[in-house]
Amino acid sequence: MKKLTKALAVFSMVGGALFGTQALAEPFKIGICYDLSKAYTFATPQVSQAAMDLAKLINMKGGIGGEPVEVIVRDHGNEPQRGIECYSKLSREGVFVFDTLSTPVSLAILPRAMEDGRILMQSLVGRGDAVDGTVFEWVYPIGPTYWGQAANDVAYIKQLHDGDLSDVKVGFVYFDYPFGQEPIEILKTLSEKEGFKLELYPVPLPGSDQAGVWSKVRRDNPDHVIVWMLGGAHVVASKEMQRNRIPMDKYISVNWLNEVDIANIGDEAAKGIKRGTNVVGGQDVALYQEIMTELYDKGEGSGPIEKTQDVFYNTGLAMYSIMFEAARKAAELEGLPITAKSYKAGLESLEGFDANGLMAPITVTVEDHGGGGKTRIEMWDGETWVPQTDWISEYTDVVWEVVKESSSEYEQ
């Protein structure tokens, strides 16, 4: 009875905002509406496997506040319409934390999540200005935005040149659609600020033909090339670079470069390639080891073990560690059952959380839903990734200026 009264109290507190949520004890659920069959399949299987493994591990240890956790994985085929369907369906089953790992679907769900007061996690996808918590109250793009990531790349280049970029030339090779175009503005601003020369090289989708782009790069001969492409396009790029005799260590990729790409380029040929990342790659991670001993060694993993040996698996672990940690905080702060509101409070109380050395420490606040946007640059040495910097988050003022400018347009 007592429990019921308490539950009712919480329910009335949250009020109408949580239409359809049962206040009775239920597992804490995360709705994973992913594209498992179309454009994002280079990362979604690993990430969802990480989510399921992590949920299993947490349940083995007694769940969160004694309640089990559950992740519900559904495919939306990267179609906004089916993403909305997944969101609506799971919402009615009492899910109030969603992740889509797809920009179009994230965009499509965002207005609904904002309206319904449900949490939309959108690490590494969706609109970057959603880090502005004052505007996007229910959206949490924890991790670096593409703007922040590009700024950190520039900061790394600045380190390499002893703080003087005045006679440095930076090339930017990008997919010619919103994903790739996003960092341009920030790079232009920084180029004015720091005085380096910026050259833009758009790559038409799907990136299978880059011959013209890289011969232009060879002519311009930039000192570094920041690259905003995904999957197979990296392999094409590396071939073109070899043909044009452009050294591999000029290549600084966005975080979407994984072990599969390296294997396709060739371990030796990829030597010197760099990427920005917000998670520690490789298997030398405490959480990863724990999952291996607790699950995979006993044959209870959620999928093939090969998929775990991929940086996107670690990315998944990082994303879901954050989500479960926030749930734990929420249960600590406001008790069970966890509601969207208490979960929000849980997220916003995360401070310096790095999942035991798995990722860049994040601190989420009411204003900053990105968690600080720290990344580091790693280099492939032929066998493993070697960190080149600490976790950094530079030029935050410039990044936030762009964020504010963009988010203010949403409010209109």
Query: Interface residues with another protein (CB under 8 A)?
Result: 36-37, 41, 45, 48-49, 52, 73-75, 77, 80-82, 84-86, 88-89, 92, 103-104, 107-108, 110-112, 126-129, 176-179, 181-182, 302-303, 405-407, 409-410, 412
Nearer to another protein by C-beta: 56 or 341?
56
Max intra-chain CA distance, the chain: 77
Q: Is the CB of 156 or the CB of 174 nearer to another protein?
A: 174
Least distance in Å: CB of 238 to another protein?
A: 26
Q: Closer to another protein by CB, 43 or 154: give it.
A: 43
- Burial category of 99 from C-beta neighbours within 10 Å (exposed 0-12, middle 13-18, buried 19 and up): buried
DSSP string over 233-268: HHHHHHHHHHHTT--GGGEEE-S---HHHHHHH-TT
DSSP per position, 102-152? -HHHHHHHHHHHHHHT-EEE-TTSS-GGGGBTTT-TTEE--S--HHHHHHH
Given the complex with another protein, which of 51 and 165 has the nearer CB atom? 51
CB of 73 to another protein, least distance (A): 5
Q: Rounded to whole angstroms, how far apart are CA atoms 382 and 359?
A: 22
- What is the nearest approach in angstroms of another protein to the Cβ of residue 170? 22
Strand partners of residue 139: 120
Closest to another protein by CB, 254 vs 270, is: 254
Contact 365, 378 (CB under 8 A): no
User: Which of 107/319 has CB closer to another protein?
Assistant: 107
Contact (CB, 8 A) for 31 and 86: yes
Q: How far is the CB of 18 from another protein (least distance, A)?
A: 15
Instruction: For another protein, give the closer residue by CB, 228 or 251.
Output: 228
Task: For residue 193, give Cα distances in angstroms to 156, 165, 170, 395, 398.
Answer: 15, 10, 14, 10, 10
Shortest distance (Å) from residue 145 CB to another protein: 9
Question: Cβ of residue 268: shortest distance to another protein, in angstroms?
Answer: 30
By the 8 A CB rule, do 250 and 223 touch?
Answer: yes
CA–CA dist 288, 57 (Å, integer): 11
Taking the complex as a whole, how short is the minimal distance between the CB of residue 76 and another protein, in angstroms?
Answer: 8
241 contacts 209 by C-beta, under 8 angstroms: no
